[in-house]
Amino acid sequence: MHILESIKISLKMLSRKKMQSFLTMLGIVIGVMAVVIVLSLGESAKEFVLGEVKTIGTDLIAITPGKVGERIPASAFGVVNTSLKYKDGEKLEKMYHPNIDEVAMYVQGNSNIVFEDNALNSSFVGSTESYIIIEKAKIKAGRFFTKEEEQGLARVVVLGSKLAEELFGEQDPIQQKVKIKNMNFRVIGVFEEKGGSMLQDQDKTVVVPIKVAQKLLLGINHINFIRIKVKDESLIDSTIEDVAESLRESHNISSFEDDDFRINTSAEALDTLNIITDALKFFLVAVSFVSLIVGGFGIMNIMLATVEERIQEIGLRKALGAKEGQIVSQFLIETVAITFLSGLIGIILGISISFIAYKVITALNLKWVFLVPIDSIIFATVISITIGLVFGIFPAKKASKLDPIEALRYE
pLDDT at 8: 65
Residues 165 and 86 reside in one and the same domain: yes
pLDDT in tens, 350-389: 999 999 998 988 887 777 888 888 888 998 899 888 888 8
Residues 231 and 88 reside in one and the same domain: yes
Structural domain contains residue 278: yes
Among residues 236, 259, 282, the one where a domain terminates is 259
Number of C-beta neighbours around residue 104 at 10 A: 23
Residues 29 and 128 reside in one and the same domain: no
Residues 125 and 153 reside in one and the same domain: yes
Whether residue 11 is predicted with pLDDT greater than 90 in this model: the reply is no
Residue 82 CA from chain centroid, whole number? 30
pLDDT at 224: 94
pLDDT in tens, 235-265: 888 999 999 999 999 898 888 888 889 888 8
Length of the chain: 411
Taking alpha carbons only, the member of 328, 320, 330 closest to residue 408 is: 320
> How far is the C-alpha of 210 from the C-alpha of 225, rounded, in Å?
12
Q: How many domains does the chain have?
A: 2
- With a CB cutoff of 8 Å and minimum separation 6, the contacts of 10 are 333, 334, 335, 337, 338
Structural domain contains residue 76: no
Query: Which domain range does residue 334 map to?
Result: 3-53+271-409
Among residues 228, 259, 290, the one where a domain terminates is 259
**Arithmetic mean of pLDDT, 200-210:** 86
Residues 40 and 106 reside in one and the same domain: no
Q: How confident is the model at residue 104 (pLDDT cuts 50, 70, 90)?
A: very high
- With a CB cutoff of 8 Å and minimum separation 6, the contacts of 308 are none
Whether residue 125 is predicted with pLDDT greater than 90 in this model: the reply is yes
Structural domain contains residue 347: yes
Average pLDDT in the chain: 82
Rg (CA), the chain: 32
Residues 154 and 248 reside in one and the same domain: yes
Among residues 234, 259, 284, the one where a domain terminates is 259
Structural domain contains residue 136: yes
Q: How confident is the model at residue 400 (pLDDT cuts 50, 70, 90)?
A: low
Residues 211 and 286 reside in one and the same domain: no
Residues 183 and 252 reside in one and the same domain: yes
pLDDT in tens, 132-146: 999 888 999 999 999
Whether residue 202 is predicted with pLDDT greater than 80 in this model: the reply is no
Residues 234 and 353 reside in one and the same domain: no
pLDDT in tens, 275-295: 887 888 788 888 888 878 888
Structural domain contains residue 322: yes
Residues 167 and 209 reside in one and the same domain: yes
Residues 163 and 289 reside in one and the same domain: no
Residues 217 and 294 reside in one and the same domain: no
pLDDT at 198: 54
CB of 243 within 8 A of CB of 101?
no
Structural domain contains residue 312: yes
Structural domain contains residue 67: no
Total-model pTM: 0.64
Taking alpha carbons only, the member of 34, 42, 31 closest to residue 279 is: 42
**Arithmetic mean of pLDDT, 159-180:** 93
Whether residue 36 is predicted with pLDDT greater than 60 in this model: the reply is yes
Whether residue 305 is predicted with pLDDT greater than 80 in this model: the reply is no
Structural domain contains residue 280: yes
pLDDT in tens, 55-72: 666 788 999 998 766 555
